[in-house]
Amino acid sequence: MEIKNYLDSTYLKTPVQAGLSPDENKAVVQSFIQEAIDEKFKLIMIRPDYVSLAKEMISAAGSKVLVGTVIGFPEGTYTTQEKLNEAHKAIEDGVDELDFVCNYKAFQNKEIELVKTEIVQCTQLGLSNHKVVKWIIEVAALNDQEIVQLSALIKNTVIAHFKEEYYQDVFVKSSTGFYQTEAGKPNGATFPSIIMMLENSSPLPVKAAGGVRSYDEAVAMINLGVKRIGTSSAKAIAKGESTNNNY
């Protein structure tokens, strides 16, 4: 198994969240991009503001690293049009993959048609521009029944509106890594949540994000059937090490 083919190296903190100045945070982003190039990771996942920078660095290096970004991040409550606008800009900047935060709060409020509409319109935008699309459901904010139902809703909506050849390019993804949990509960992927996602989103692929902190955990997730792993500790995992990072 070539673990690096599964790793989406991730840095999504704003300057405020990182406790850094804008220039300092940009330097951290650049270091993550360079590391992804050097280590030949599958993808570098960054905020939309840095997509152009990543594409420039990767092109200059002659690298094949893909660039992904997050849309409607992290709360997911942006309107469908706001998500489309943000995704349009990222596409113009050269992004390869779009990770949309599903409006899981609308789902919890039984606004199912709203959720279906954003899934169809945003997925259509991505696929029509030859981009991989991922839908983040934020498992830490959902109970088991909601994880099952939202995974199935995304799957059924995609199957109803897109051809089978596109299923491999529409993922269901576990987490943003930014959801605030109580009492130290996990805010990212767990084995029970990933199993529920795999069982209810197939044939769509699954990405485990947040909470995968060691090579052994990553391999176990892949053996379950996960196709991608989002982590801020890609290098440590690739080297067979463990990490205490929270994403």
Report the C-alpha gap between 139 and 101 in whole angstroms. Answer: 11
- For range 190-200, the mean pLDDT: 97
What are the structural domain ranges in the chain?
Answer: 3-238
In this prediction, residue 246 carries a pLDDT of 63
Q: Which two tokens stand for residue 148?
A: 């099952």
CB 223 within 8 A of CB 203: no
Write down the pTM of the prediction.
0.96
Report the chain's mean pLDDT, rounded to a whole number: 96
Burial classification of residue 161, based on how many CB atoms lie within 10 Å of its CB (0-12 exposed, 13-18 middle, 19 or more buried): middle
Return the CATH fold of 3-238.
TIM Barrel (3.20.20)
**d(C-alpha 76, C-alpha 231), whole Å:** 20
The residues annotated with a catalytic role in the active site are 99, 173, 207
Please give the Cα distance from 198 to 152 (Å, whole number): 10
User: Whose CA is closest to 68, among 186, 229, 239, 243?
Assistant: 229
The strand pairing partners of 242, in sequence order, are 214
Q: What is the pLDDT of residue 201?
A: 98
Q: What is the pLDDT of residues 131-188, one digit of tens each?
A: 999 999 999 999 999 999 999 999 999 999 999 999 999 999 999 999 988 877 888 8
For residue 143, give the 3-state DSSP assignment. coil
Backbone angles phi, psi at 123, to 5 degrees: -65, -40
Residue 118: the pLDDT is 98
Tell me: pLDDT of 80 over 80: yes
